[in-house]
């Protein structure tokens, strides 16, 4: 099967979009990560784990034992850190570039790319050389579903 056939519609978020709204998209769709675009072009993958990391205050990241001293109601309010922030601010200092495949690439080519780049999503683009126009996204789950013939 070719990449174009595996490609699914996947929510894209602009790099300057509201962080809280983008996180809600991630949560509602139970997605492995967000596909981030800049001026309509694929830019990077923002993994769900990176979003969770952003929710954790820096001082707790520096000293994880501090997570234990914070009371439950305060701990439940950690999403407040997203207010007024953008997706750009949630990006790691070295963002994971969104890997892309051509529409006629095979499942093995896609799997090899995912394995090499450690990413759960790959963009299927019309013109891979110029990284133009995302036709859809192949997720690791979709790929595995196809190769294992999961009902």
Partner 1 sequence: MSAAFAVTVFAVAYVFIATEWVGRVKVALVGAGVMIAAGLLDADQVFFEPETGVDWNVIFLLLGMMIVVGVLKQTGVFEYMAIWAAKRARGDPYRVLVLLCLITAVASAALDNVTTVLLIAPVTLLVCDRIGVAPVPFLIAEALASNIGGAATLIGDPPNIIIASRAGLGFNDFLVNLGPIVIVLLVVFVLVSRLLFRSAFVADPERVDEVMRLNEREAIADSRLLLRSGVVLALIMAGFVTQSLTGLEPALVALLGAGLLVLISGLESSAYLEEIEWETLLFFAGLFVMVGALVATGVVEELAVRLAELVAGNLLLAVVVLLFASAILSAIVDNIPYVATMAPVVAAVMASDPELQGQTVLWWALALGADLGGNATAIGASANVVVTGIAKRSGHPISFWEFTKYGLVIATITVTLCVPYLYLRYL
List the end-to-end C-alpha distance of the chain, in Å, as a whole number.
17
| Partner residues linked to 97 by β-bridges | 44
Q: Are 123 and 100 in contact, with CB atoms under 8 Å apart?
A: yes
Q: How many residues belong to the site for partner 1 (CB under 8 A)?
A: 13
Please identify, using beta-carbon distances, which residue of 75 and 108 lies nearer to partner 1: 75
Nearest approach in angstroms of CB 17 to partner 1 is 20
Tell me how long the chain is: 151
Alpha carbons 84 and 22: distance in angstroms, whole number: 12
Please identify, using beta-carbon distances, which residue of 58 and 151 lies nearer to partner 1: 58
Per CB under 8 A, the segment of 25-33, 38-46, 52-60, 115-123 that binds partner 1 is: 52-60
Nearest approach in angstroms of CB 148 to partner 1 is 39
Please name which of 88, 77, 14, 16 lies closest in space to residue 51, comparing C-alpha atoms.
88
**150 touches partner 1 by CB under 8 A:** no
Nearest approach in angstroms of CB 107 to partner 1 is 41
**1 touches partner 1 by CB under 8 A:** no
Q: Binding to partner 1 (CB under 8 A): which residues in 53-92?
A: 57-60, 62-63, 65-66, 68-71, 74
Phi-psi region for residue 46, left (φ > 0), alpha (ψ -120 to 50) or beta? beta
Nearest approach in angstroms of CB 94 to partner 1 is 15
Instruction: Please give the angle made by the CA atoms of 142, 17 and 81, to the nearest 5 degrees.
Output: 100
Alpha carbons 89 and 135: distance in angstroms, whole number: 27
Nearest approach in angstroms of CB 65 to partner 1 is 5
Site residues for partner 1 per CB under 8 A = 57-60, 62-63, 65-66, 68-71, 74
């Amino acid at each position: 099967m070719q990449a174009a056939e595996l490609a699914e519609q996947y929510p894209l978020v602009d790099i300057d979009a509201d962080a809280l709204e983008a996180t809600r998209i991630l949560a509602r769709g139970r997605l492995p990560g967000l596909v981030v675009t800049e001026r309509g072009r694929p830019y990077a993958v923002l993994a769900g784990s990176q979003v969770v990391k952003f929710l954790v205050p820096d001082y707790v990241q520096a000293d994880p034992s501090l997570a234990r001293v914070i009371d439950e109601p305060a701990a439940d309010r950690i999403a407040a850190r997203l207010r007024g922030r953008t997706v750009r601010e949630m990006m790691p200092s070295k963002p994971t570039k969104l890997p892309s495949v051509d529409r006629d690439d095979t499942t093995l080519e896609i799997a090899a790319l995912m394995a090499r780049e450690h990413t759960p999503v790959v963009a299927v683009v019309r013109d891979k050389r110029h990284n133009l126009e995302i036709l859809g996204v192949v997720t690791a789950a979709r790929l595995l579903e196809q190769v294992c013939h999961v009902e």
